[in-house]
Chains A and B, each alone.
Chain A
Amino acid sequence: MSDQNTFLLDGEEIAFTPGQTIMQAARAAGKYIPHLCWHPEFKPHGSCKLCTVKVNGRFASACTTAAAAGLEVENRTAELDDKRRTMLQLLFIEGNHFCPSCEKSGNCLLQATAYELEMLTPHFDHFYPDRPVDASHPDVMLDFNRCILCSLCVQASELVDKKCVFVMGGRGMKGRKIIINSESGRLADTDFSVDDRAASICPVGVILKKRVGFAVPYGQRTYDKAPVSIVETEAAK
């Protein structure tokens, strides 16, 4: 391997192939950079900002920044983890995240990342927004109380399923939301199917398949067994 294609991540040399982002190269090297809206199968969205790192002293998103020779990247520093924890808190107070009644608990990337970063409190005052639940579809329900606006379902539906069932629209915290592709706004009135890629992409508990929620009980789920940093690096191998 050429020495030229490496950069430093928290002082450790990481090899990359040209065209890779910092996130991709780090993951390939078994290093965990916290993230929510990034998914290895999809193009980076860059919105959650959990993967904010410092590249040569400047803040940047690891998922959208190209790896380049000689970069010095800070990742799991106290300063950055502190910012990440604050952003997690902002996400928790923005929506209605009530883990004890959520069937995604234990498999939820938001929750697992908050555990990883030892978020003990939402800290800020909650907004308690009034968001809808859509149970119209026979096989899938939507609970937007938990949406973190990552857009993974948007990408999956458009690029993999070729359907555009979900589109991100509106502006700002009060307006931005997933728009369902039907005049009624109901999922049942779209061509959405439980077999769609978009049906199993949600990192939190918005898009839920009906009748299988508790097949695996609390306590025995993905992030119950191991923290997200371990799960992610194992998955990359």
Chain B
Amino acid sequence: MNEQETIAAVLERHNHDGTRLMQILRETQEALGWLAPETITAISKGIGWPRAKVEGTAAFYSFFHLRPRGKYCVLWSDNITDRMLGNRELMQRLCEKLWLEPGRLSEDGLVFVNTTSCTGMCDQGPALLVNYRAVTRMTIDRVDEMAELIRNQVPLAEWPAEWFRVEDNIRRKDALLDHGLVPGEALAAAFARGPQALIEEIKASGLRGRGGAGFSTGLKWEYCRAAPGEAHYVVCNADEGEPGTFKDRVLLTSYADLVFEGMTLAGYAVGAQKGLMYLRGEYRYLKEALESVLARRRSEGLLGRRILDQDFDFDIEIHLGAGAYVCGEESALIESLEGKPGRPRIRPPFPVTCGYLNQPTAVNNVETLAAACLVAAKGGAWYAKLGTAKSAGTKLLSVSGDVERPGIYEYPFGVSVRQVLEDAGAKNCVQGVQVSGPSGVTLSANELERRICFEDIPTAGAFMVFDCTRDMFEVARNFAHFFAHESCGFCTPCRVGTQVVARLMDKLATNHGSPYDIDELFKMHRLMQGASHCGLGNSACNPIFDTLTKFRPAYEKRLKSLDYEPAFDLDAALSQARQMTGRDDAAAHLLNVE
């Protein structure tokens, strides 16, 4: 098939439907390697959109390439947990072996190496993506072998299968992971009650959204059901992008039936016939397995027409994201589902009344949907007894960092941070714990009695542990760069603010900082928290504020002087002129401080 035929086939498969642009771009790129200008033009003609809109979407996502990316694209997961496991040194080694610089295509156009935001393998890092397939547990030996495989242009299919093995690492099971349900059991119970009663049951259970915000699931479904529209939709938010979180990956790997059944329950409750799962691009490798679970459920009468012989039709489709953390925000996710850049919408209206294709849409987290099955099957009253007064049920925690047994831990809400650390085997002395990822909260060793629940520390599930050998400043700096990279760029405070913060942190890191710079960081925190358009900008300075407040010495020890310091290296700023003139006399140098 030539390029035009490839593009035509992709367009045909998606009915020339522009709202499916994300899938069209991905499938085209998987076939052609990158998205050339004429490819963008052909796609725009095929879907009848202005060309600039297609390019605008493609340019938004990290995993779409408007320039050639070579035959091998190696992206190292760059979460702080990967760093702690030595990813930077390994990447450097790979680059040296391949004679290239990170972020630049090799001269022969063969290979591209760079970093990417957390790929959700923190319990088995250092991790990377090679041509968007997940690789775990990188070592020096694997790097050397990988360089050979790339140099010899060995196809990915012939690489060691062991590299692509992803472990569940389930360490503690509770009500959800020990659910004991068979496929269809929760649905049958729901059908026996009817949709309205199902919603009442969910409300009675006290189930709250597991993505971190904690909105009542029952109320969300009720509002969505009541909202007028031509069609209603259910969306499963499987864009698990918060660095340090990987519990949805495990649910989708080993509990996919439960998740899909939860989506079906939601569809029944809100009156939807279609469900969409938005799966993050980093989990591309899960797609085929998930498709086969969907196929089996269809053949078992659990999806499709007349589910379990009831007057209820519902089916599910999987959409892949393409590397954009902000799409975890539900309205940005919906924009992406519609083929647009993942820019959070102005709210209100909320998705429950005006969501996907401007229709009422219930967007729920993977874990929430799985938990809904428990409520449907075992009853709201039973579920409400688990956990604490305002946080019913259990919570999956993704534990990583300095612990003996990283992995998935399920606890009833209310568990103390200290308990989790003991169970996971925290190494050495604990210095800090980052709960709920960079946008969450940084805890110091003084706060280990605090509890995981909406009354105290709400969380989407990340739990990263730092022992006393770690540098908490570097933790915050890693997060600052993460936000600068992931800001969608829509609003001024977040777009420019995250860059200013990252630059200030770099200034401190290179020992050019002064107390003025610390004041600047606080100032940016005050501006961005409140003035930003969405949660990303509003929480982007949380780790800076928390570490400045709780780990101040980590910053102070980097201050060079109490005087104002330039942000740039003055002597380095003369480097080009020195090179061009060949001068190296005393006057051809500058000290940063006199």
Contact check, A172 vs B484: say whether CB atoms are below 8 A apart.
yes
Chain A residues lying within 8 Å of B52, measured Cβ to Cβ, are 164-167, 169, 179-182
By size class, the interface of chain B is 35 or more
Contact check, B346 vs A90: say whether CB atoms are below 8 A apart.
no
27 contacts between A and B (CB under 8 A): A48-B492, A49-B492, A49-B532, A59-B531, A86-B523, A86-B527, A90-B493, A90-B497, A127-B499, A164-B50, A167-B53, A169-B52, A169-B55, A169-B57, A169-B60, A171-B60, A171-B61, A171-B62, A172-B485, A172-B498, A172-B499, A173-B484, A173-B489, A175-B59, A179-B52, A183-B37, A183-B38
Contact check, B492 vs A87: say whether CB atoms are below 8 A apart.
yes
CB distance from A117 to the nearest CB of B (A): 14
Q: Which 10 A-B pairs have the closest CB atoms?
A: A169-B56, A176-B489, A167-B52, A164-B50, A90-B496, A181-B52, A59-B530, A170-B59, A179-B52, A172-B489
CB distance from A142 to the nearest CB of B (A): 14
Chain B residues lying within 8 Å of A83, measured Cβ to Cβ, are 526-527, 531
Instruction: List A residues 4-58 near B (Cβ within 8 Å).
Output: 44, 46-50, 52
Query: A94 contacts the other chain (Cβ, under 8 Å)?
Result: yes
Other A-B contacts than A173-B484, A183-B41, 10 sampled, CB-CB below 8 A, are A46-B491, A49-B493, A91-B492, A166-B52, A168-B341, A171-B489, A172-B495, A172-B499, A176-B490, A179-B59
Query: B418 contacts the other chain (Cβ, under 8 Å)?
Result: no
Q: State the majority secondary structure of interface residues on B.
A: helix
Number of A-B contacts (CB under 8 A): 123
Chain B residues lying within 8 Å of A165, measured Cβ to Cβ, are 52
Option from B40, B495, B526, B533 in Cβ contact (under 8 Å) with A173 = B495
Contact check, A170 vs B533: say whether CB atoms are below 8 A apart.
no
Chain B residues lying within 8 Å of A94, measured Cβ to Cβ, are 495-496
Query: B487 contacts the other chain (Cβ, under 8 Å)?
Result: yes
Which residue from chain B places its CB closest to the CB of A168 in the assembled complex? Answer: B56
Q: Binary interface profile of A, 178-196, with partner B (CB < 8 Å = 1, else 0)?
A: 0111110000000000000
Option from B55, B491, B492, B533 in Cβ contact (under 8 Å) with A167 = B55
Give bound CA distance, A169 to B487, whole Å.
Answer: 13
Chain B residues lying within 8 Å of A115, measured Cβ to Cβ, are none
Query: A93 contacts the other chain (Cβ, under 8 Å)?
Result: yes
Instruction: Give the B-binding residues of A (Cβ under 8 A).
Output: 44, 46-50, 52, 59, 64, 83, 86-87, 90-91, 93-94, 124-125, 127, 149, 164-176, 179-183
Give bound CA distance, A93 to B499, whole Å.
Answer: 11
Query: B298 contacts the other chain (Cβ, under 8 Å)?
Result: no
Option from B346, B490, B491, B567 in Cβ contact (under 8 Å) with A125 = B567
Contact check, A179 vs B531: say whether CB atoms are below 8 A apart.
no
Give bound CA distance, A176 to B61, whole Å.
Answer: 11
Contact check, B59 vs A171: say whether CB atoms are below 8 A apart.
yes
Query: B435 contacts the other chain (Cβ, under 8 Å)?
Result: no
Give bound CA distance, A182 to B50, whole Å.
Answer: 9
Contact check, A46 vs B60: say whether CB atoms are below 8 A apart.
no
Q: Which of B57, B491, B496, B498 has the most CB of A within 10 A?
A: B496
Query: B324 contacts the other chain (Cβ, under 8 Å)?
Result: yes
Give bound CA distance, A173 to B500, whole Å.
Answer: 10
Contact check, B533 vs A46: say whether CB atoms are below 8 A apart.
yes
CB distance from A155 to the nearest CB of B (A): 14
Chain B residues lying within 8 Å of A64, measured Cβ to Cβ, are 346
Chain B residues lying within 8 Å of A91, measured Cβ to Cβ, are 492, 496
Which residue from chain A places its CB closest to the CB of B345 in the assembled complex? Answer: A46
CB distance from A6 to the nearest CB of B (A): 22
